[in-house]
Amino acid sequence: MKTNDKIIQLLKERGAMTAKALATELGITTMGIRQHMLQLEDECHVIYKDKQAVRGRPARHWSLTKQSDCYFPDGHEALTVQLIESVKLVFGESGLDKLIEQREKESFELYSKALDKHNNLHDKLKALAKLRSDEGYMASIEKQNNLYWLLENHCSICAAASQCKSFCRSELHLFQSLLNGQASISREEHIMQGARRCAYKITPNP
């Protein structure tokens, strides 16, 4: 993987980073990273914001632009949008709702088989993140005190979700069904509302 690609990947997964942090992560010099950032900036894939540090000069934090989405293409975006519009035209909104319900049912069955192999919530969530990453969501699990976070740095169904908000509601409902009795889950950040990622807060039941 080229250095530029690695930088794009890191910024997608972790959000804004300094040249120093990127250099440390990739094992190259800070000067080398800065050269790559200038190239990516010229290509309109990254932007920066200077933030005041505790000591010394402000630190420059780099983040991705919308143009960087070309590194993470939605494979059949145009076809997806066309199919959704066709379903609405032929079967109406109720027909599309039934289609989404069927997709949720099939996903629940698939996910349940994987999660049922694990006894504790932590391992179940790791298995869920693995499934989501396999589907292109770039998912990971983080633990903060008594909470867990399911973080999805990419939306592999953006084209569909932009045409029908029910897809997003269905995915949240799917997670709630999978964790029913073990934890409550809410979406705190949402790509479709302009956030960098989708972030789900998971609170284990007492």
What is the CATH classification number for the domain harbouring 127? 3.30.1380
Task: Report residue 115 as tokens.
Answer: 């999660």
Residues 86, 67 share a domain: no
How is residue 58 annotated by DSSP? P
For position 200, what pLDDT does the model report?
97
Residues 166, 197 share a domain: yes
Residues 54, 90 share a domain: no
For position 75, what pLDDT does the model report?
56
Residues 65, 157 share a domain: no
> What is the Cα–Cα distance from 46 to 7, expressed in whole angstroms?
10
- State the 10-residue block means of pLDDT for the chain, 206 residues long: 93 94 96 96 94 82 90 67 82 87 95 95 96 93 95 84 83 96 96 92 95
Model pTM above 0.75: no
Residues 83, 34 share a domain: no
Residues 89, 14 share a domain: no
Residues 44, 27 share a domain: yes
Check which CATH number belongs to the domain holding 8 and give it: 1.10.10.10
117: three-class secondary structure by DSSP: coil
Number of separate domains in the chain: 2
Domain that holds residue 26: 3-71
> What is the Cα–Cα distance from 35 to 16, expressed in whole angstroms?
17
Task: Report residue 164 as tokens.
Answer: 């029908």
> What is the Cα–Cα distance from 41 to 51, expressed in whole angstroms?
18
State the first-to-last Cα distance of the chain, in angstroms, to the nearest integer: 44
Residues 88, 54 share a domain: no
3-state helix, strand, coil in the chain (%, to 5): 55, 20, 25
For position 9, what pLDDT does the model report?
94
